[in-house]
Chain A
Amino acid sequence: MSLDNAPDAAFNEALIKEVLEQYPEKAAKKRGRHLNVKKTDDAGSSSCGVKSNIKSVPGVMTIRGCAYAGSKGVVWGPVKDMIHISHGPVGCGHYSWSQRRNYFNGTVGIDSFVTMQITSDFQERDIVFGGDKNLDKMIDELNDLFPLNKGISIQSECPIGLIGDDIEAVAKKKNKDIGKPVVPVRCEGFRGVSQSLGHHIANDAIRDWVFEKTKPEWETGPYDVNLIADYNIGGDAWPSRRLLEEMGLRVVGMWSGDATLAEMERAPKAKLNLIHCYRSMNYICRHMEEKYNIPWVEYNFFGPSQIAKSLRKIAAQFDETIQANAEKVIAKYEGLVAAVLAKYKPRLEGKKVMLYVGGLRPRHVANAYDDLGMTIVGTGYEFAHNDDYQRTTDYVKDGTLIYDDVSGYELEKFIEKIRPDLVGSGIKEKYATQKMGVPFRQMHSWDYSGPYHGYDGFAIFARDMDMAINSPIWSKFKAPWKAA
């Protein structure tokens, strides 16, 4: 890596100072704790130097969502054979309807319900009199209209917790009535500071309302693993599953992309949990470790360096056969990787990238960019915790600009001053960035592309970054009759 591409710590520190000057004093103080550059001290200890998982500052245009988004939108929504009720007013379910691209196989409205918006559509009378009675009735209606559903989850919207509804009591009663799991989730949007608490609450609901509620008849094997916290966006989990199967593992549960309830119920019988999105599902992995003695391993299937490293790390948990298989899998894809790099690396080498994504990708994709010869010059998370920033230090260079819960104002200024060659963030950030003439890829939805996981996905990732950066349209922004 040439020094020219190394992030400029002094420049970034000055930039942070400049950005903070625009805030009123109190907000500047609060926001100042969330902006820094990554450093390594003389003792070799690295830090991102930011506080995280703290309430957003009012009025600054946070990019964060809410606990409901973390539960219904992320963890529960993809479980395909369950009906997920957006319990409360119509909006939350409407805006999150079919927007996360959690791919699945199944027949919508018959045995799968992922791309449906099912809501109790609260009216004023529900706020005044409570929604429990209607929820009870609604569950009967749904079970009647969709008899092949395997269970129902109740995803609470803001009013539920405020009006004192007892959805747990309704859930227990309906579980008896319909003979299927009914899972109440207290993911009201005002809880916590971001999507993150919603993940946690959703994990706890799996623990309390799914595990040990049934006795799955299941013949276990020595290589049973769960693929945890891959939401199958654009089909991500499928190339991941292929790699695991190719190395001889048996994926007994996929959570929660393309998942069925059965895959969740039997998870405690697996030998190992493999977790991709640490942020959203570490809770249930820790629980399974404590309660069922199932160890868990974090892995990263973005880009060939991390894939190979992860395959070896996973294989190390098993015997020599699996370890030998892992080497075979890595070798098998060497040709594809070499061809992808030969084609795209010359077109992308030396390009600077800024990221701002959710709770995993701001670090997890960094090495995939490195593999293509690109450099991360700034990164940050919407809803990370301290342990995410600790893990980030392994992925980014010293001097990298770090921004936690960035505001619209900050991100726009950072992009304007740094002028990266590519920004990877979300739909809310996409159009402002592109209008500045800076190439952009949505890194939540893969910009309607994907999968990006696994070797198959890496080829697509490389192609997409090339398309974004090397599109001819960027040269047309200035009218030719205007002076350069």
Chain B
Amino acid sequence: MPQSADKVKDHISLFKEPEYLELFAAKKAQFECRPTDEAVAAQAEYTKTWEYREKNFSREIATINPAKACQPLGAVFAAAGFEGTLPYVHGSQGCVAYFRSHLARHYKEAVPIVADSMTEDAAVFGGLNNIVEGLQNAYKLYAPKMIVVSTTCMAEVIGDDLSAFIATAKEKESVPADFPVPFAHTPSFVGSHTTGYDNQMKGILNYFWDREAQLTAAPGSKINIIPGFDGYSVANNREIKRYMEEMGVEFTLLGDVSDVFDTPSDGEYRMYDGGTTLDDTRAAINAKATISLQEFCSQKTLEYVASKGQQTVAFNYPMGIGATDSFLMKVSELTGKAIPASIEKERGRLVDAITDSQAWLHGKKFAVFGDPDFCLSMAAFLMEMGAEPTHVLCTNGGKEWEEKAKALLASSPFGASGQVWAGKDLWHLRSLLFTEPTDFIIGSSYGKYLEKDTGIPLIRLTFPIFDRHHHHRFPSFGYQGALRVLVEILDRVFEAADAASDISYDLTR
């Protein structure tokens, strides 16, 4: 008998028991009509070849294991970063179940979002009734300070007009006339979750700066910071705030989910906690400049902010030495506040750590995949450490990103062998890893299938991370964040070295 009460075996060990192995074999032999083992082995080998790679890269329509999600995911994420805010999705309810599950699996947190549950009748007549009723119910039940509306593709295909619908809902007193209901159209057949983040962030600023009241900018000394879609936002936002406080910079972090997606367990469920205050959001029009930490999450937003007379600057995910240097120097330049010695010391400690470890990284080859800004800074940081980003693959990267990534690789001898793959997916990456292998893969949990197939170790450093816990609770931004990223990479390097050979199983490395 495979099971016992003394030592309960679950799926991890139960299915290795002989009774189950026999069951599997018999099922396969008698009932499954699977291809022969030889055919499977031959095809598996074939997928490793250059010929298969060419076939794989010649496909034009099929998308296989893409590393991107759709617009409304980014929209609800952006909305969640504001005080007392309930993200609201106009369209099918299934999408919202998916967004909530997806974010909850990464953050291990509750993710309250409502849908207005459009069905067949709404497909025919439009979703006006849904929004009138939905806003009223959401407002009454969940007492938010703001409801932020985005759309699913269903509402977009039938052409619902959010501006008009929300105005009608207010006329019908679903919510008070002065209650903030910013919105953004977020069709999932355009762009990805990073596009949705951008659209929603712009929608929120636009609401407070133009729709609620026509504000006129009165530039002051503060700066705005827009973090972008970032799975490490909990710790990264806190790290950015710490830097600003140490520098004595007055700032507003626009869309700060750090406390929203990191609430304590003390017996009380906080549906709303933290987030950028609505007053700060209104006042953000008076900032002297707005800095985006992720260029490709904020292009439309920055364009809008610039139209209000503000200076705008965009970075590509401030992770690593140079990226953090540029970010801090820009903040210093904009605000006139010096970078304090304490931060300089942190920088020195990071450089010290890399100096100690560089021999283990020099010349090691990495494949990197993820969102556009993450890919750029990860590749840059690898090159700073003497490692080589061999494949930089971004499913939601376009032409502009591709050029930027190529220029980045061209800027360092460590990028000389690197190749940039815009718009490609993880099945493409599988072919790349078999034909032009690397030593390590850096990406999200979805990379685990590549690790299994190719045997190349995966280092999880970007959203989503479902199968490891609490990574997002530690920063990857700034010098401290870079130190943590360094350690995660080194751990895998040392594990690989330990596993590689009995002879060189050294105690000290």
Asked whether B123 lies within 8 Å of A162 as measured between CB atoms, the reply is yes
Task: Write 17 A-B pairs (CB below 8 A) sorted by A numbering.
Answer: A58-B116, A63-B97, A103-B11, A110-B47, A148-B35, A157-B153, A158-B92, A163-B157, A189-B92, A234-B11, A245-B23, A344-B5, A407-B141, A434-B265, A435-B265, A451-B10, A478-B266
Check if A395 is an interface residue, CB within 8 A of chain B: no
Q: Which residues of the other chain, A, contact B6 by a CB distance below 8 angstroms?
A: 339, 343
B33: nearest residue on chain A (CB-CB)?
A262
Q: With A159-B157, A436-B268 given, is the CB distance from A409 to B66 under 8 Å?
A: no
* Contact code string B92-123 (vs A, CB < 8 Å = 1, else 0): 11110111111011001111111111111011
Check if B59 is an interface residue, CB within 8 A of chain A: yes
Instruction: With both chains docked as a complex, state the minimum distance between the C-beta of A416 and any C-beta of chain B, in angstroms.
Output: 8
Asked whether A64 lies within 8 Å of B93 as measured between CB atoms, the reply is yes
Asked whether B1 lies within 8 Å of A95 as measured between CB atoms, the reply is no
Chain A contact residue count (CB 8 A cutoff): 124
Check if B187 is an interface residue, CB within 8 A of chain A: yes
Interface hits, A49-100 → B, CB 8 Å: 55-69, 81, 88-92, 94-97, 99
Q: Which residues of the other chain, A, contact B47 by a CB distance below 8 angstroms?
A: 109-110
The winner among B116, B133, B136, B137 for most chain A CB atoms within 10 A is B137
Asked whether A436 lies within 8 Å of B158 as measured between CB atoms, the reply is no
Instruction: With both chains docked as a complex, state the minimum distance between the C-beta of B398 and any C-beta of chain A, in angstroms.
Output: 12
Asked whether B4 lies within 8 Å of A336 as measured between CB atoms, the reply is yes
Q: With A90-B68, A138-B61 given, is the CB distance from A124 to B189 under 8 Å?
A: yes
Q: Which residues of the other chain, B, contact A123 by a CB distance below 8 angstroms?
A: 189-190
Asked whether B133 lies within 8 Å of A437 as measured between CB atoms, the reply is no
Interface hits, B116-164 → A, CB 8 Å: 116-120, 122-123, 130-131, 133-138, 140-142, 152-154, 157-158
Q: A-B contact count, CB below 8 Å?
A: 343
Asked whether A122 lies within 8 Å of B189 as measured between CB atoms, the reply is yes
Q: With A159-B153, A339-B6 given, is the CB distance from A57 to B137 under 8 Å?
A: yes
User: At the interface with chain A, which of B24-32, B208-216, B228-236, B342-350?
Assistant: B24-32
| CB-based closest 10 A-B pairs | A66-B94, A91-B70, A59-B134, A58-B134, A95-B98, A339-B5, A262-B33, A59-B137, A58-B116, A59-B138
User: At the interface with chain A, which of B37-45, B198-206, B495-503?
Assistant: B37-45
Q: Which residues of the other chain, B, contact A110 by a CB distance below 8 angstroms?
A: 40, 43-44, 47
Check if A331 is an interface residue, CB within 8 A of chain B: no
Asked whether B92 lies within 8 Å of A105 as measured between CB atoms, the reply is no
How far, in whole Å, are A443 and B115 apart by their CA atoms in the complex?
23
Asked whether B97 lies within 8 Å of A431 as measured between CB atoms, the reply is no
Extra contacts besides A116-B64, A342-B5 (13): CB < 8 Å:
A22-B141, A65-B97, A97-B446, A109-B430, A119-B66, A127-B157, A141-B60, A242-B20, A333-B1, A407-B141, A408-B112, A437-B267, A456-B14
Check if B221 is an interface residue, CB within 8 A of chain A: no
Check if B15 is an interface residue, CB within 8 A of chain A: yes
Of the candidates B1, B62, B68, B114, which one forms a contact with A118 in the assembled complex, judged by CB atoms under 8 Å apart? B62
How far, in whole Å, are A343 and B5 apart by their CA atoms in the complex?
7
How far, in whole Å, are A58 and B119 apart by their CA atoms in the complex?
11
Check if A6 is an interface residue, CB within 8 A of chain B: no
Check if B476 is an interface residue, CB within 8 A of chain A: no
Asked whether B141 lies within 8 Å of A91 as measured between CB atoms, the reply is no
Check if A222 is an interface residue, CB within 8 A of chain B: no
How far, in whole Å, are A92 and B63 apart by their CA atoms in the complex?
13
Check if B427 is an interface residue, CB within 8 A of chain A: yes
Check if B192 is an interface residue, CB within 8 A of chain A: yes
* Contact code string A364-399 (vs B, CB < 8 Å = 1, else 0): 000000000000000000000000000000000000
Check if B276 is an interface residue, CB within 8 A of chain A: no
Asked whether B119 lies within 8 Å of A190 as measured between CB atoms, the reply is yes
How far, in whole Å, are A260 and B142 apart by their CA atoms in the complex?
46
A-side interface residues toward B, CB under 8 Å? 22-24, 26-27, 55-69, 81, 88-92, 94-97, 99, 103, 105-111, 115-124, 126-127, 134-135, 137-138, 141-142, 144-145, 147-148, 150, 157-159, 161-163, 189-193, 195, 234-235, 238, 241-242, 245, 251-254, 258, 260-263, 332-333, 336, 339-340, 342-344, 407-409, 412, 426-428, 430-437, 449-451, 455-456, 459-460, 462-463, 477-479
Asked whether A449 lies within 8 Å of B268 as measured between CB atoms, the reply is no
Q: Which residues of the other chain, B, contact A336 by a CB distance below 8 angstroms?
A: 1, 3-5
How far, in whole Å, are A213 and B123 apart by their CA atoms in the complex?
34
Q: Which residues of the other chain, A, contact B8 by a CB distance below 8 angstroms?
A: 459-460, 462-463
Of the candidates B28, B56, B105, which one forms a contact with A427 in the assembled complex, judged by CB atoms under 8 Å apart? B105
Asked whether A263 lies within 8 Å of B5 as measured between CB atoms, the reply is no
Asked whether B157 lies within 8 Å of A142 as measured between CB atoms, the reply is no
Check if B188 is an interface residue, CB within 8 A of chain A: yes
Of the candidates B44, B62, B104, B154, which one forms a contact with A428 in the assembled complex, judged by CB atoms under 8 Å apart? B104
Asked whether A435 lies within 8 Å of B134 as measured between CB atoms, the reply is no
Asked whether B15 lies within 8 Å of A238 as measured between CB atoms, the reply is yes
Asked whether A90 lies within 8 Å of B134 as measured between CB atoms, the reply is no
Of the candidates B3, B94, B108, B118, which one forms a contact with A68 in the assembled complex, judged by CB atoms under 8 Å apart? B94
Of the candidates B2, B97, B123, B133, which one forms a contact with A190 in the assembled complex, judged by CB atoms under 8 Å apart? B123
Of the candidates B19, B43, B140, which one forms a contact with A148 in the assembled complex, judged by CB atoms under 8 Å apart? B43
Instruction: With both chains docked as a complex, state the minimum distance between the C-beta of B158 and any C-beta of chain A, in angstroms.
Output: 6
Q: With A106-B34, A451-B11 given, is the CB distance from A477 to B23 under 8 Å?
A: no
Check if B470 is an interface residue, CB within 8 A of chain A: no
How far, in whole Å, are A340 and B9 apart by their CA atoms in the complex?
12
How far, in whole Å, are A27 and B129 apart by their CA atoms in the complex?
13
Asked whether B32 lies within 8 Å of A263 as measured between CB atoms, the reply is yes
B117: nearest residue on chain A (CB-CB)?
A56
Q: Which residues of the other chain, B, contact A409 by a CB distance below 8 angstroms?
A: 141-142
Q: Which residues of the other chain, A, contact B40 by a CB distance below 8 angstroms?
A: 107, 110-111, 148
Of the candidates A142, A162, A428, which one forms a contact with B110 in the assembled complex, judged by CB atoms under 8 Å apart? A428
A262: nearest residue on chain B (CB-CB)?
B33
How far, in whole Å, are A92 and B152 apart by their CA atoms in the complex?
11
Asked whether B130 lies within 8 Å of A58 as measured between CB atoms, the reply is yes
Asked whether B189 lies within 8 Å of A459 as measured between CB atoms, the reply is no
Asked whether A435 lies within 8 Å of B189 as measured between CB atoms, the reply is no
Q: With A95-B101, A190-B154 given, is the CB distance from A27 to B137 under 8 Å?
A: yes
How far, in whole Å, are A62 and B119 apart by their CA atoms in the complex?
14
How far, in whole Å, are A193 and B268 apart by their CA atoms in the complex?
32
B2: nearest residue on chain A (CB-CB)?
A456
Q: Which residues of the other chain, A, contact B71 by a CB distance below 8 angstroms?
A: 91
How far, in whole Å, are A161 and B92 apart by their CA atoms in the complex?
13
Q: Which residues of the other chain, A, contact B287 by a CB distance below 8 angstroms?
A: none
Q: Which residues of the other chain, B, contact A344 by a CB distance below 8 angstroms?
A: 5
Q: With A115-B449, A459-B3 given, is the CB distance from A141 to B62 under 8 Å?
A: yes
Asked whether A88 lies within 8 Å of B10 as measured between CB atoms, the reply is no
Q: Which residues of the other chain, B, contact A235 by a CB distance below 8 angstroms?
A: 11, 14-15
How far, in whole Å, are A138 and B62 apart by their CA atoms in the complex?
5
Asked whether A190 lies within 8 Å of B55 as measured between CB atoms, the reply is no
Asked whether B43 lies within 8 Å of A238 as measured between CB atoms, the reply is no
Asked whether B19 lies within 8 Å of A435 as measured between CB atoms, the reply is no
The winner among A57, A147, A462 for most chain B CB atoms within 10 A is A57
A473: nearest residue on chain B (CB-CB)?
B265
Instruction: With both chains docked as a complex, state the minimum distance between the C-beta of B149 and any C-beta of chain A, in angstroms.
Output: 11
Asked whether B119 lies within 8 Å of A193 as measured between CB atoms, the reply is yes
Instruction: With both chains docked as a complex, state the minimum distance between the C-beta of A181 and any C-beta of chain B, in angstroms.
Output: 13
Q: Which residues of the other chain, A, contact B73 by a CB distance below 8 angstroms?
A: 91, 95
B102: nearest residue on chain A (CB-CB)?
A95
A81: nearest residue on chain B (CB-CB)?
B34
Q: Which residues of the other chain, A, contact B11 by a CB distance below 8 angstroms?
A: 103, 234-235, 449-451
Check if B171 is an interface residue, CB within 8 A of chain A: no
A150: nearest residue on chain B (CB-CB)?
B33
Instruction: With both chains docked as a complex, state the minimum distance between the C-beta of B405 and any C-beta of chain A, in angstroms.
Output: 21
How far, in whole Å, are A449 and B331 apart by their CA atoms in the complex?
48
The winner among A124, A158, A251, A479 for most chain B CB atoms within 10 A is A158
How far, in whole Å, are A91 and B195 apart by their CA atoms in the complex?
13
Asked whether A427 lies within 8 Å of B101 as measured between CB atoms, the reply is yes
Check if B453 is an interface residue, CB within 8 A of chain A: yes
Instruction: With both chains docked as a complex, state the minimum distance between the C-beta of B363 and any C-beta of chain A, in angstroms.
Output: 30
How far, in whole Å, are A178 and B142 apart by their CA atoms in the complex?
53
Q: Which residues of the other chain, B, contact A81 by a CB distance below 8 angstroms?
A: 32, 34
